[in-house]
Structure 1
Amino acid sequence: MELRHLEYFVAVAEEANFTRAAKRVHISQPGISAQIRQLESELGAELFDRSSRVATLTTAGEAALPHARATLAAAAAVRDAVDDVNQLVRGRLAVGMVTACTVTPLFDALAACRGAHPGIVFDLVEDNSDRLVDRVRAGTLDLALVGVAERPPAELSSLTVVSERLVAAVPSGHPLTASPAVPLSELCNQPLICLPAGTGVRTVLDRNCAAQAVTASVAMQASAPDAVADLARRGLGVAVLSESMAASYPDLASIPIADAALEAVLALVWKPAPSPALREFLDHARRAFMP
């Protein structure tokens, strides 16, 4: 029995799917299936029920899973201890970021950390903020840059990068530009162009609306701020973005939302007790985001 067999077993158990698990551990689907079969042969029992598309643990699999996780954790601890003595840092970090959100300091931190520690390999994953936070909680991501409403989840460690209010972004000459600010109730009567549910900016908008018992008239949504801005530029509605997002589009006028008190927060989040590799990356991230 080899450690990689246990790693593949845990991946399939957590993903409940051989194909997703294969992508996670960077081998082919037939390859991971063959390795699991070899492990089952050595143990003398089937670990998964393969009768459906979902890979469900058998009774033997349920019994083996906590021991497999403990063995992998012990092996990682041995390597970390030796690396600390040798002043080496190695490992693979899965880093999440909001879809279509190019954040230069994050890329600077990745480059600086990899330059200082070539033994660290990074896997970059894009998704919406809600799913990224769930994956950090589940341990399938080591760290994620996410947008949240008001403050990061309390059970996760975090580094707040920016906290800012929402604005309405419209072309010059739009009726909303006649006032220095727009009340949320008036804004919600406009056709709005928003990021999708599950993103930080959309969550902030929805919670501000709920606090004032108003309903936003969402006419269109797009997963990238560039698309939201372009739709507004064409007169299809009023874009709702954070202040820093809207500042990227100088041809659109940014109008403060007068009574939307809840702010959008961009933050790095991770589980407590980070690995040595993650600790090193966090050092570079702090320097990149807060020079």
Structure 2
Amino acid sequence: MELRQLEYFVAVAEEANFTRAAERVRISQSGVSAQIRQLERELGATLIDRATRTATLTAAGEAALVHARAALASAEAVRQAVGEVTGLVRGHLTVGMVIGCTVTPLFDALAAFHRAYPNVEITLLEENSDRLLDGVRTGAIDLALIGTADATLSGLNALTIVSERLVALVPPEHPLAERPAVTLDDIADHALVCMPQGTGIRTVLDRACAARRIQPAISLQASAADAIADLAARGLGVAILSESMAGAYRDRLTALPITDIEAPGLLVLIWTTTKSPALEQLVRYSRDTFATAR
């Protein structure tokens, strides 16, 4: 019996699906199936019922799951204890960032961490914020930088990096360009260019519109701020971005405060409570780097 077999078994039990479990432990589905069948042969019992699309535990599987989790926790405790004594940090970390991220302190933190702990492998991926949040909750992602409308996220540690109001951006010839500010009613009369659902800025906009029973005409969506600004500059709609994003386009777009969107768009670093020495050190480097950048 090997620890990896127990890890794969726990993953299938928690995901109730061999494909998702394989993605979680980062090996092929056939590899997961083979290792679990080997574990079942060693134990002399079937642990997972494969008769349906959903992988469900047998009675033997239910009995084994508690002890498998305990064995994995004990193994991690051993690694942590040795790491603390020897000062070595090893392992693998998956870091997520929202699509179109240009927050360089995150890259600075990763670089500093890599120099200090070269034995830790880092995987960096881009996704929308909702999927990154789900990834951190399930343990598939260790740490992520997401856009959100909520400063507090249940069950997660969160460090707010940016908190900014939303603004509307229009080219100089646009009918709204001469105004000092706009309201949701003002911009609802025009086509909007915005980030897709699952992003922090879009969530703030959607919540504000829903509270006022306004149905915005979102004609175009893009994940990158540059693309949104380019579309607005070409007259294809009113862009919705955060204040700091808008600053990069002041040479061709006028930024107008949206007076009745009070909630800020947030950029938040999230991670779960963990005993992983590698993740603890990466969080420390991230805190220090972002604090210096402010």
Q: Do they fold alike, i.e. is TM over 0.5?
A: yes
> Which structure 2 residues correspond to residues 1-291 of structure 1 after superposition, within 5 A?
1-250=1-250, 251-291=252-292
Q: Structure 1 residue 154: deviation in Å?
A: 4.8
Question: Normalized against structure 1, the TM-score is what?
Answer: 0.92
CA contact under 8 A between 1:150 and 1:262: conserved in structure 2? no
| Greater shift in the superposed pair: 209-218 or 168-177 | 209-218
Task: Give distance in 2, aligned partners of 1:14 and 1:154.
Answer: 20
SS of the residue corresponding to residue 130 of structure 1 reads helix
- State the AA in 1 paired with 2:223: S
Q: Structure 1 residue 7: deviation in Å?
A: 1.3
CA contact under 8 A between 2:151 and 2:158: conserved in structure 1? no
- State the AA in 2 paired with 1:107: F
Task: Give distance in 2, aligned partners of 1:206 and 1:282.
Answer: 31
After TM superposition, the runs of 4+ consecutive aligned structure 1 residues lying more than 6 A away are none
Q: Which structure 1 residue ranges, 5 or more long, are not aligned?
A: none
CA offsets per residue over residues 48-98 of structure 1, 9 Å max, x none? Answer: 232344433333223322321221111001110111011111222222211
Task: Give distance in 2, aligned partners of 1:30 and 1:194.
Answer: 41
CA contact under 8 A between 1:188 and 1:214: conserved in structure 2? yes
Task: Give distance in 1, aligned partners of 2:159 and 2:15.
Answer: 28
Aligned length: 291
Q: Cα–Cα, structure 1 residues 226 and 13, in superposed 2: closer, same or farther, change >3 Å?
A: farther
Q: Which structure 2 residue ranges, 5 or more long, are not aligned?
A: none
Identity rate of aligned residues, in percent? 60
Task: Give distance in 1, aligned partners of 2:245 and 2:66.
Answer: 44
Task: Give distance in 2, aligned partners of 1:126 and 1:63.
Answer: 38
Question: Normalized against structure 2, the TM-score is what?
Answer: 0.91
Task: Give distance in 1, aligned partners of 2:56 and 2:231.
Answer: 45
CA contact under 8 A between 1:152 and 1:265: conserved in structure 2? no
